[in-house]
Each structure stands twice: as C-alpha cells, then as structure tokens.
Structure 1
Amino acid sequence: MRSSGRRLAAVSLFFVCSALLCLPFADIALYPVEPWIELQRMALGLLHPDVHMWRLVLPALAQTVAFALLAVAGSALIGLALALVFHSRFVRLLCAATRAVHEIFWGLIFMQVYGLSATTGLLAILVPFSGNFAKVFAELLAQQSPLPSAAVARSSDRLSRYCYTLLPQAWPALLSYTRYRFECALRSSTVLGFIGLPTLGFHLETAFKQGQYDQAATLLLVFFALIGTIRYWFRPRYTLLYLAAAFWVLPASAPVESSAWLFFSEDIWPSAVRNGNWSEALSWYHHQLFSVALPAAVDTLLLAQLALVLSGLIALLSYGWASSQLAASGVRHLGKGLLLVLRSTPELILTFLFLLLLGPSGLPAIIALGLHNGGLIAFLLAKQSEQLVLRNDAARGLNRYVYELTPRLYARFVDLMLYRWEVILRESAILGLLGVTTLGFYIDSAFEEIRFDRAALLIVVTALLNIGVDSFARRVRRYCQVATLAQQ
C-alpha cells in the first residue's frame, strides 16, 4: 500500500511539474480588453431571460434530445456487439481511432458527404460513441465473475456464453454507463449546433455573437434544466416510444448530390498523390507535417496539460462542497447546483464567454476546460465520498477533508484524471473553432478553404495524438494500480 501511495504521489508530482514546464511556452497572454460593459449586459440578460422565445426553444430542444437519443441507442448496440470481439487487435485499433476524433470533426467530415442534414448529426455522435461503448463495455464484461460459465455446456458457442453468463452480471453497470453517455450525447448534440445543425448550440452561438444575452440566458437555463432533470423525464421503460418520437422530430434534410466514395477516394488526397507524383507528394506531406501539424500539435498538448492540472485542482477544492460528508444541507445544494452548471455547460460555450472577457489567447480555453472537467470530476468524487463508511469518532470539518476523505478518494481521483486526460486533449483540439491556435483552428480553416487533403491529414494527426496520450495514460494507470486501489 505504501508503495502504491508513493507511485500516486510521483505521478501527481510529474503532472504538476510538466504543467509548470509548459507555462513559459503556452499562449496565456492577457490582452487589454474592457469586459465590464459586456459583463453587465450578461448579468442583465441572466436576470431577465427572454421567456417569450419558446417557439424557438422547443424545436431546438426536441432536436437536441432526438440526435442524442438516437445516436446513443445505435452506438450502444454497436458497442455491445464490438465488445464481444474486443480481443481482436483490429477491433481495438478501430475503436481507438473512432473515439480519438471529436464529434465536431466527425460532423465536419460527414457534412461534406451528407450536407447539413440529420444523417450528419447522427453519424457525428454515433461513430465516436460506438468506440467508447465498445471499450468500456468490454472492460465491464471482463470484470465479471467467470464462475457462471462453468454451468454452461462446453459445446456452447462464444455468443451463448456472452449472452447467458456475462451480460446478466454486467447489465446494471452497462445501463449506468449508457445513462452517463446519454448525458454526454446531449452536450455533444448541443455543441454540433456550432457547425450549423439546428440544436440548442446553434441558437446559443447566434445569441452570444449578436449580444442577445437575454436569449442566451434562456437557452442556457433550458439546457441546465434538461441535464439536471434527466432522471425525472427519461423513463427506460418508455425507450421505444422515445425513439419513435425522436425519428419524428428530426429536422428535414434537403437532398445532397454528393458521393462518399468520391470524397474518401479523391477529395482527401493531395493532387500529387492522385497524379502519382510521389516526390511532390512527399514534399507536400513534409511541409504540412512540420510547418502546420507539429506546431499545432505542440500548442494543443501545452494547452491540454495546463487544463488537466487546473481541472484536478478545481476538483479537489470543490468536491467537498457537494458532499454530505462535509457540507451542510443548504451549502451542499448550492455546491451541487454549481457543479451541475460547470459539468453541463459545453466547453465551447465556456471558452466563448472567456474569450469575450480575457481576449484572444489560450488562457480562456485553459480556464474553460479546467472549470468544465474539474466540475465533472468533483461531481463524481462527491458522489463516491457519500458512499464511504466513516467511524463514529471520525474527524470533522477540514480535518475530515484532509485526513479522511481525500486520502481514501485519491486513487479514484487519479484514475479519473488519467481518463479525462485524453478527453481534455480532444476538447482542446476543437477549441480551435473559436480561434485558439490548436489543431482544430487549422482543421476548420482547411474545411472553409475546401482543402480537404490538409483537413484529413490534420484529423489523422489529431487522432494519433489522442491515441498516444490514451495509451500512455493506460500505462500510468497500470503503474499506479489505480483501478485496484479505487475499488478498495
């Protein structure tokens, strides 16, 4: 146990030191802005939301839920099937590649084939979520007891053993994770509005850009209410009814004359490759990799590393305010409400707000990512802290936080941080859509300039970067034995 504690401390020190080393190279400049008038307008908008825009809100709300529900239903089924063959290296690599690319980038890809349509929105969520479901479902199934398999005939095939021994044991955990991914899908569906799909995010971006903060406040309050009341309005026994209604409310799509084969076989390849001029092709790839992709990847990593450490700091400092083990009832409700706002607000929206207040640099993105992910980790820590059994003579107040709860939760905290590391990196990349010079900035520019070859290359670089970080995080997790310690 002492050795494991030293390893956790060493890993924590490594991440803190790496963030300090990143500080001199990161773009965290403060620009002279006058945010007070804008802050006053935002505050007035929050205090006086536009309650008369329900005709605009209801269709966007329904379509946000429809995209999320249909995509999660499809990706959960695909993930369940892939979990059966997750032992295959090809399947593992395929799932890693799909989940390494953010939903917005998938949306930009499918938009070139299917246009601004319901198909684009569904596939943008379904493809990466299928990879996530397959990975987590396979891990959950691997944790189940092998003893029931002994009661099954030896002649039974793999599918029968899968259905009759592993699935029944893992079913509660599979349902719990699916509910969590549905909340994530609601955020993803909202964010897809930033690339033009008619979800809440589309109207949020429009309201913020036009300075209509009363409308923005209404949309945000509706979104917070949507996330915070999932357990009340979503009843699993009515899932088939919800799915039928979701198909009905999907936006109508105009016919698009495009060819997926043409896009993937020609458009994403540079002209030198299509013409067979390999020396010119090598020169093009060399220029794109070392002049564009590498500097952007470094900026993305710097931003993600700083945001990761900030997330951890925020989580450790805030989880106690939402835990019944530390906070009184009134304070706890306020703490849970604040964490709900932080974890529910998409990072793109938070970054947009901080860009208005702090100017164009990487600092707004770091703060936004830290608040969003820190709020999510704090929520999970607070929830787990309430399940801990304390002695009757356990310390109280600050001593309980420092000497009782935090040490017992620390392995789980490190586990969550390592899991969120790859997620923060993906989110750092997409913040380029707002002008932050990460990989997403150059990907978005390439799509706008109809340079699909450059966009495809940068998306591949983004995926490889995420896969590399995810692989390193898994090695650190095994080194620290955080999965075992977190269960103790």
Structure 2
Amino acid sequence: MSQTSKSKPTTLPKRPSVFNWRTFWGLLFLASFVWSLHSAGVFEADLINEGGWNLVWRFLVAAVHPDFSPEFLQLTLDATLKTLAYAICGTFFSVLIGLVAGILSSEIWWESVLKTQKTKLITQSPWLVVRGVLAIPRAIHELIWGLFFVNIFGLDPLVAVLAIAIPFGAITAKVFSEILDETPRQPLMALLNSGVPPLNAFIYSLIPQAFLNLLSYAFYRFECSIRSAAVLGIIGAGGLGYQIFLSLQSLRYEQMWTFLIALILLTGATDFWSAMLRRRLGAPSRLDLNVLNLSRRKKPLYQNDPVVKVSFLGTVVLVIFSFWYVQADYSKLYSPRTFQLLAGVFQDALPPDFSQLSQLFELSAKTLAMSILAMAGAGLGGILLSFPAANNFLLSGGIGDLRGNVVLFFTRFLLLVARAVPEPIWALIFLFVLFPGILPGAIALSLHNLGILGRLMAEVVENLEQRPITSLKALGATDSQVFLYGILPRTLPRFVAYILYRWEVCIRSTVIVGLVGAGGLGRLLAEQLSSFDYKGLLTTLIVFLVLTFSVDLISASVRRSLR
C-alpha cells in the first residue's frame, strides 16, 4: 500500500519585532536629547553675549601673527618639555599599575590560581572585588585628583604625575583585564595542567599572545596623557596648559597661539610616531573595544626593524629624561606629614553631609544633560569626518589623488586641532559669546571628543576587510552603493560602541569644564576643594560616582544590545 508523502508548507522566517531593545534605546536617546537641549536653555531667547564677538575677532586675528620672539620660544620649549615629561612619567606608572592590577582583576587569573576550586562563586568573587575597588579611582577625573593632591603636596610636580597615574592606572587595568580575559586560553591551560605556576604560565603564554593588544592600548593611553598633562596645568602644575590658561586670562592671544601651536605639534608628533610604530608592529588600531575582533596579525613583531629598535631606545631615553626633568619629590609619598594631612582630610570628610541632596540632584541632571549634548555632537561629527579622514576612503573611491590627499590632510588636521586643545580652553573661548551654563561646556566637550572619535573611527574604516568592497565593485555597484551596503553597515556598530565608550569618559570630563563656568557638579567640586569643605566634597563625590557608574551601566547595556 503506497503512502503519499505530504509536503510540509514552507515557513518564512519570522520578521523581528519593531519593539526591541535597539528601538527602546533609540527612543530613549531622542527623548534625552530633547530634554538636554531644554536643560541647556537652547529654547530660550538669551543665549548669545553680543559683546563677546570683539574678543573672538581679536582671538582669530592673533592666529595670523603669534609671538615667535626668541625669549618667548624658549619659554614655550620649556613648557612643552614639562608637559611631555608629565605625560611620560604618568603613563609609565599607569601602565605599571594597569599591568599588575589588570592581572589581578582578570577572571582568567583567579581561575588559574583557584583552579582546584570549581565553585563559580569562589572563582568570580576575587576579580569582581578588585574591579569594584578600581572603579572608584577610575571614575574620578584626573583634575580632581590634582586638586586634591595640591592640598596634600603643594605645587610639587608629584601632583601632576600622581593625578595622571592613579585614574589612568585604574582605567588601564580595566582594559588590560578585558584583553587578558578574551585572549585564547589553550596555551595557558596546557601549561597549568603541566604543573607550571600561574604567574609563569601567564608570562610565557597569555601575555605574549596579548602583547600587541596591550601595547596598542598603552600607546593610546600615552596620547591621552599628553592631553591630561596639558589640562593639569590649569591648576598650577605648569606646562603648556598653564601657559595657555594664563595667556587667555590676560588676553594675550598672540602668546596663546604660540602655546597652542606647540601643543598641536606635540600631539601631532605623538600621533604620528604612535601610528607609525603600531603599523610596524602589526597593531594598527589605537583602541579596539572588541578584542576578539582584532584580526589575526598579518605582520609579525619586527624584532630587527630599525624603526622599532630606535623607538625602543628612544622610549628608554625619554623615560629617564622625563623623571630627571620633572624632579618630583617622591619622598613625600611616605613622609609623616603626608600621613598626618591625609588623616586630617579623612577626619574632616567623615561623615558626609547629605543636607543639600536636592541641589546635588539638580546639578547631576545638568551634568548628565551636558554629557548627552556633547556626545551627540561629537558622535555625529566624528562619523561624518571619519570617512574623509581615512587614508583608504577617498583615494579608493574614485577621487583624484591630489584632491583626495588635500581633503585627507585638512580633515586630519581639523581633528588634530580639535583634540589637542584642552576642553577648558574650548569652554573659555565659547564663554566669550555664550552666557555661563552647560551649553558652552557641552560644545567644548563635543569639539574635543569629536577630534578623538573622528580619528578612532577613521582607523575602523582603514582596517576594514576589503574583499566585500572589491566584490561589490566587481558586480558593478556604484560608489554610493558600495558605501551604503559595503562600508556603512560594517562600521556603524563599531562607531556607536566608540561613542558609548567616550560617553563614559565624557561624564568624567564634565568636571574640568565646570571649573571655568560651565556649571554642573564640576563647579561645585572645585568650590568645595578650594574652601576645604571636605564633608560637602565627599558627598558630591559620592553623587558623582553614582552618576558615573549609572552611565557606565547604561553604556554597557546598549553595547550588548547592539552586538
């Protein structure tokens, strides 16, 4: 008896629902952006200070004839060397702290140490505790650390070095731990199963595999240290930031432009050297938020490359020179007077004063609004400028070499200037024509982060796999179709991840623009530090830490939903 086979009806794949986490985050962003505009007073009438346009014109005209007198150039060179030395010393300690703390805060380290204990709670608890402890110094901006250490050590170069080393060390530890956790573990497990101690197994297996990733981020952290060293000059640490701030306050714009040119050249030279060396080593990205997506290196580590050798020797010489040039008094770290001052600060700060929570919540809302506006502007501008700033985009898109090179150079120079000028200086410039509030602070943060995001995003475009683009062109796709279907969909998720990462950094940076009149919690923190109101300072720091951790959690949740 024959059986007739009944064909099953084909079922089409179910269309994903419009109401998902991505839609939710998108609508929440639109609502928060409109609220931030309202908080900044954009919908009100009085925003522009008409009397400030004359100062803006004088500032722009002074760019044509900066002060290049020999005496002033000598002062500029000294300030430049001081900024560079602060950055090198701070980076040295932050990488050292980051490597040790990064291992201790990595999950794989504690799994290796406690390999006999299979309980998940036992293996997870230690690294979560270490990461929780590191989150506190990471959330406090280096300028606040600097203001705090000024009260302890006075105007000693040690202040600038510690103010960079402590928060950047905690940030580096977080990134290093994530790199180690996402590095392939098979060689490590083989050594551990052979009876090799965990530290030796790390040194001979995991760290060599992750070395280029760790080195790439160390380069990026050094570039950040240059900018932070300039910012710390505002509190009296010296260097280019201090000289720029003094020149701007005294309206000596010709001198200010000389210092700005020096800062731009220093930042540009650091970027160029970092990019060249990373290409030689086969580590093209400054920062990659998804370590597993860092492709297998096409180039080995060039041990015999003369550029690598000269760079290594030059780094050693610069580190030795920087510590000699800074002349920080490290004996103050363990002097009895320091411990007495610290004990006095803790006694004065405890218990915290929660009597003004309503004001703190209001300032927190303004701080959050400032960061949202800043990152919306920086993110949009960074996306638009990242493509012409990529060295493989315009030239491969059919535009002539000369025209493409001109656009490439101009865009990169624009991004360099935007990120080289410290946020407080941008804020002071915009305060010429804008009334004090969060709007000039948001614009200043937006411009500075635009320069950083645009360069990071350009590297994403430069490191794209070219085979899908070549295939589309071979099929007859136009340049616009190649961009819409072959480039944008592959870069946009990474762009959003970078924007969210910078948002976490930006919420900390609202402190430094608050110092110059941009409002928010930063202004209150500066006032409390200068008046030695440690109870109020501790309360404000607690609120600021809660705000920072909330932004971190939201950012991490959004990044997970976009994967």
Partners of 2:339 and 2:219 in 1: CA distance: 35
Counterpart for residue 461 of structure 2: 385
Partners of 2:24 and 2:488 in 1: CA distance: 17
Query: Paired residue for 1:47, among 64, 68, 78?
Result: 64
Counterpart residue type for residue 301 of structure 1:
L
Query: Paired residue for 2:201, among 125, 148, 161?
Result: 161
Query: Paired residue for 2:258, among 215, 218, 226?
Result: 218
Counterpart for residue 276 of structure 1: none
Counterpart residue type for residue 19 of structure 1:
F
Within 5 Å, give how 1:165-314 maps onto structure 2: 165-230=205-270, 235-250=311-326, 259-270=337-348, 285-291=353-359, 293-314=360-381
Partners of 1:350 and 1:9 in 2: CA distance: 34
SS at match of 1:80: helix
Counterpart residue type for residue 257 of structure 2:
A
Q: Is the 8 A contact 1:447 1:455 kept in 2?
A: yes
Any gaps of 5 or more consecutive residues in structure 1? Answer: 274-280, 482-488
Counterpart residue type for residue 344 of structure 2:
E
Partners of 1:232 and 1:410 in 2: CA distance: 26
TM-score normalised by L of structure 1: 0.90
Q: Is the 8 A contact 1:31 1:360 kept in 2?
A: no
Q: 1:226 offset after TM fit, Å?
A: 0.7
Query: Paired residue for 1:353, among 426, 429, 444?
Result: 429
Q: Does 1:470 align with 2:549?
A: no
Partners of 1:399 and 1:350 in 2: CA distance: 38
Q: 1:16 offset after TM fit, Å?
A: 2.8
Query: Paired residue for 1:415, among 485, 497, 506?
Result: 497
Q: 1:20 offset after TM fit, Å?
A: 1.3
| Deviations 1:322-347, CA, capped at 9 Å, x for gaps | 12313622111111111111122221
Counterpart for residue 455 of structure 1: 537
Within 5 Å, give how 1:367-382 maps onto structure 2: 367-382=443-458
Query: Paired residue for 1:430, among 508, 512, 516?
Result: 512
The aligned length equals: 470
Counterpart for residue 383 of structure 2: 316
SS at match of 1:229: helix
Partners of 1:461 and 1:104 in 2: CA distance: 17
Partners of 1:144 and 1:175 in 2: CA distance: 14
SS at match of 1:287: coil
Partners of 2:139 and 2:478 in 1: CA distance: 43
TM-score normalised by L of structure 2: 0.78
Q: 1:159 offset after TM fit, Å?
A: 0.8
Where relative contact order (Cα < 8 A, 6+ residues apart) is larger, the structure is: 1
Partners of 1:362 and 1:466 in 2: CA distance: 17
- CA-atom RMSD, angstroms? 2.5
Q: 1:23 offset after TM fit, Å?
A: 2.1
Q: Is the 8 A contact 2:472 2:486 kept in 1?
A: no
Q: Does 1:133 align with 2:215?
A: no
Partners of 2:146 and 2:220 in 1: CA distance: 22
Residues 294, 266 of structure 1: CA spacing in aligned structure 2 closer, same or farther, 3 A cutoff?
A: farther
Counterpart for residue 65 of structure 1: 84
Q: Does 1:74 align with 2:93?
A: yes
Any gaps of 5 or more consecutive residues in structure 2? Answer: 1-12, 108-126, 275-310, 396-403
Q: Which has the larger radius of gyration?
A: 2
Partners of 1:408 and 1:10 in 2: CA distance: 22
Query: Paired residue for 2:139, among 80, 89, 100?
Result: 100
Partners of 2:36 and 2:409 in 1: CA distance: 36
Q: 1:150 offset after TM fit, Å?
A: 4.2
Q: Is the 8 A contact 2:103 2:176 kept in 1?
A: no
Q: Is the 8 A contact 2:48 2:433 kept in 1?
A: no
Partners of 2:339 and 2:197 in 1: CA distance: 37
**More displaced, 360-369 or 124-133?**
360-369
